[in-house]
A and B are shown apart, each in its own frame.
Chain A
Amino acid sequence: MDLNELSVLSLWSAMAMYMLAFIAFALDLARRSADVTAAANQLAAAGAHHNASLSSSLETAEVGRASGRPVTTLTRTDTDAPQVQARQSPVLRVALALTVLGFLLHLTAVVTRGVAAGRVPWANMYEFGLTGTLLIIAVYLVVLLRIDLRFLGTFITGLVLVLLGIAAVDFYVEIVPLPPALQSAWLVIHVFVASAGTAFFALGFALAVLQLVQHRREVGGADLSGLKLKFLATLPTAERLENLAYRTNIVGFILWTFTLMAGAIWAERAWGRYWGWDTKEVWTFIIWVIYAGYIHARATRGWRGSRSAWLAIIGFVAVMFNFSVVNLFFKGLHAYSGL
């Protein structure tokens, strides 16, 4: 078995892991819904009259005790806490372990592909799909170290699974050497940063979608119950989701700004002009402007909240469009799909 075959094998194994992780994450969401139902029943049984959605838990924490010098405590109201606290769950831990395992296999697939090709593994659509999705998982796992976004697991593994499936089945190409047009250090920088930006946008997109749904639930109350989305009660508030989405998206935006600039520098070296409104350049620009609009919307009265979330969603749709339709069907100088 040569290295590329090993790469393909690891890739399919990674996909299998992600599939199992996806199922486990979905089970976790189902369990959360069950928890919410149970909590509601308990409340009803206790004859509690207050609406659960109004509860903002008041936490009291001991801040510190100085020996000899007693220090009083502070109180802080956490308005962002979810309405129902989810229980620790073994299935969630399994899901996470599977994701990490999938990530390692995925990483192996990418690295072996690169070694087999003797160059960076992001020179055609298949490889770009491979590396881009790897970065989505990597960014997700890194963010998890700081912020609990495990509830996004179904989305992230699901998205990656779909993208990898398309890449492996429809975009697969054998290893071929780089054509002269792609032999540049800028390929390494430009494309890698673009993938990293895409990874952050993907996360921001997921958070923005949840923000919208959560917002609906918060203002509209029960009309979502038919959709079996009870688990939403265990997730952060719409406002917290919005802040998280914003923070992820601005990281993506900065990476995207850099992508745009690195692309322009490369275009100058390769074609003698840094900007020529080539289709791919146009779409990179459009995406940049949409996200600039998103950032502005957050700072514009009347646009904060759901409206700005829609812009984040449109932005990510444009990113996906740029990667798929523009690459495959639009004519331009950036003919690197390898298909």
Chain B
Amino acid sequence: MSRPSDYVDAGARPQQERPDDDIVQPKLGFTGTLRFIWRQLTSMRTALMLLLLLAIAAVPGSLVPQRSSDPNGVIQYFDDNPDLAPVLDSIQMFDVYGSVWFSSIYLLLFISLIGCVVPRTKHHFQAMRSRPPRTPARLQRLAAHTEITLEGGNAGSAIESAHALLKKSGYRTELYQGRNGDVSVSAERGYLRETGNLVFHSALVGMLLTVAIGGGLGYAGQRVIVEGQTFVNTLLDYNSFNPGRFYNPDDLAPYSLSLDNFDVTYEQKNLDAYGQPIDFTAHVTTRLPNGDTEERAIKVNDPLRFEGTDVFLLGNGYAPKVTVRDPDGTVVWTDSVPFLPQDGNLTSLGVIKIPDGLEEQIGMIGFLYPTAYELETGAYTSTYPDLVFPVLTLNVYSGDLGINDGAPKSVYELNVDDMTQLTGGETGVDSIELMPGQSQELPGGRGSITFENANPDAAASADENATTADFSGSVARFASFDVHRDPTQGWVLTFAILILGGLLTSLFIPRRRVWIKATDNVDGTVRVEYAGLARGEDPGLGEAVDAIAYRHGTALGLQR
């Protein structure tokens, strides 16, 4: 089988069969050393060690946050463990799966794998073309052995029918004439077992290569879209964009995508889950340069596959629309600002920055409570995620927003180091507090701010006697999308199927040799022997040999 020399079944081989056994001697020479290293690397023991090492090396990545999957967690970790974190960072603990040590383990493993699979494949091709081996002289030595004695008939015809039977059962067969006048058929089956094993291991290599290359050919980008807005698939329009090494952003498919509306359904019957979202649907319209438009829906678990890209719905929340006017009443700023949800009832946090148009730059940190409820402390909380009683509170700062030097700043963060707080906290001035449609003066006569109602019709049509106004739809929602392109996904799936198929074949197809030998006895009876030899794991061997004996007996006309 040309398996590594420390393969369990290799023990039967005589030592002389390995011509390079002398390499254990002290003087190896250069090529000798290389040969020695190569043989060590492609041995079963090394493969096993590398596998176990791989398992161990994968553990730390689950204990410490990883930059790839949890970048904020890493920042948090640095804050929480200022002494430990740099040490861990120096040994790539925050990038375990791309680290030098993790990569070396799996690269070595795969080199070992290739070094193991190539000679085995060659060998397997030869084995498939060679004839089943000569029948052993003494079959009764084998573990699976049965014999019967026939009254009448002759050895030749018994073997003829045995031959036919084995052929029909999918065995490769060969007839042999023994020295003692016996005739026998030697049969082998289950070559697919080794084929499956080789397919499995080769597909692992294929999978690794595809994943390695695939990462470089595509890209991933993120974009937040507020209801009513349109996203154009160009580099500039992404909030963040991570191209693969070989990806050229000029190749972005030209299309645009509008978020028409974003529907959320909340559980209202089951009190154990009251307010739990049970459906998110983003209704979008796609547009191609030729003018084709189409309305589509994107859900969690149900992405939009469009123009070679996949668009996934990841997050959502509220994007209150705010307008700021200068003291003369001229609009200096108006926009819908995505606020990030902080809890299940969508208490949301957002930042508003007014760089121009007012005397001084203004920054605001705001909380939106979709269904506001005042706690005894006077603070608000949200008690339900939908817009029943929405309140927006804002703390106002004036000074330098720190965005003039052109360096990109997160739109979700406000650096207040160079700013003066004007409302809330210890200023003694009440925070700005607005419901949709309401306006308020900014402190110090700086102008005014309005919380726009996105759906004034609902409010207007509400019954005047109703205890609360209808605020449904008063604040637009936003959805965040991941746009991906990975042209190698089909290959990944293909290799996955080959891996699974190879595995099933190699673990469940038994490979075995079977011999049937017939000898004419002097008294005119015929002795027929059946024997089997497992090659690899084969729990059913004994049964199989018995079954063959039984069927052969039946074919010869035995009655039972």
Contact = CB atoms under 8 A, between A and B. Distances in A.
Contacts of A177: 267, 270, 273, 276, 278
A285 B58 CA distance: 8
Interface stretch (B64-72, B121-129, B375-383): B64-72
Contacts of A254: 500, 503-504, 507
B539 interface: yes
Contacts of B499: 257, 261
Nearest to A296: B48
Tell which of B145, B276, B301 has the most Cβ of chain A within 10 Å.
Answer: B301
A246 B278 CA distance: 43
Interface in A251-305: 253-254, 257-258, 261, 264-266, 268-279, 282-283, 285-286, 289-290, 292-293, 296-304
Contacts of B59: 282, 286
A178 interface: yes
Interface stretch (B7-15, B178-186, B438-446): B7-15
Contacts of A279: 62
Given A71-B558, A180-B299, A183-B301, A292 B51 contact: yes
A186 B496 CA distance: 16
A65 B273 CA distance: 71
Contact of A296 (B51, B68, B278, B500): B51
B310 interface: yes
A220 interface: no
A205 B14 CA distance: 36
B47 A296 contact: yes
Contacts of A175: 270, 272
B55 A331 contact: no
Given A179-B276, A296-B51, A299-B7, A282 B61 contact: yes
B301 A180 contact: yes
Contacts of B299: 180
B104 interface: no
Interface stretch (B23-31, B148-156, B187-195, B224-232): B148-156
A326 B105 CA distance: 24
Interface string B486-506: 000100110010011001100
Interface string B441-465: 0000000000000000000000000
B62 A184 contact: no
B413 interface: no
Contact of B492 (A184, A246, A274): A274
Contact of B503 (A174, A257, A331): A257
A268 B211 CA distance: 14
A180 B270 contact: no
Nearest to B73: A331
A227 interface: no
Contacts of A74: 145-148
B560 interface: yes
Contacts of B484: 272-273
A69 B152 contact: yes
A277 B69 contact: yes
A327 interface: no
Given A176-B272, A179-B278, A180-B277, A300 B8 contact: yes
Contacts, number: 181
Interface string B519-560: 000000000000000000101001000000110010000111
B402 interface: no
Contact of A283 (B62, B272, B310): B62
A277 B97 contact: yes
A90 interface: no
B539 A301 contact: no
A332 B63 CA distance: 11
B300 A181 contact: yes
B55 A269 contact: no
B409 interface: no
Contact of B301 (A68, A269, A282): A269
Contacts of A60: none
Given A66-B560, A293-B48, A270 B500 contact: no
A307 B546 CA distance: 33
Interface string B407-428: 0000000000000000000000
B45 A272 contact: no
A276 B493 CA distance: 16
A67 interface: yes
Contacts of A63: 146, 148, 549
B6 interface: yes
Contacts of A89: none
Contacts of A174: 272-273
A207 B70 CA distance: 40
B44 interface: yes
A61 to B, nearest CB: 10
Contact of B44 (A290, A292, A301, A333): A301
Contact of A181 (B273, B301, B493): B301
B482 interface: yes
Nearest to B527: A72
A336 interface: no
B236 interface: no
B507 to A, nearest CB: 5
A301 B12 CA distance: 11
A184 B278 CA distance: 13
Contacts of A246: 537
B66 to A, nearest CB: 6
A298 B482 contact: no
B107 interface: no
11 contacts: A63-B549, A71-B150, A72-B148, A76-B145, A175-B270, A180-B278, A180-B299, A243-B537, A300-B6, A301-B45, A302-B45
Given A292-B51, A303-B48, 8 more contacts: A66-B560, A69-B152, A70-B151, A71-B558, A72-B148, A286-B58, A301-B10, A304-B8
Identify the 8 closest CB pairs spanning chains A and B, nearest first: A176-B273, A174-B272, A272-B312, A300-B44, A180-B300, A289-B55, A293-B51, A184-B301
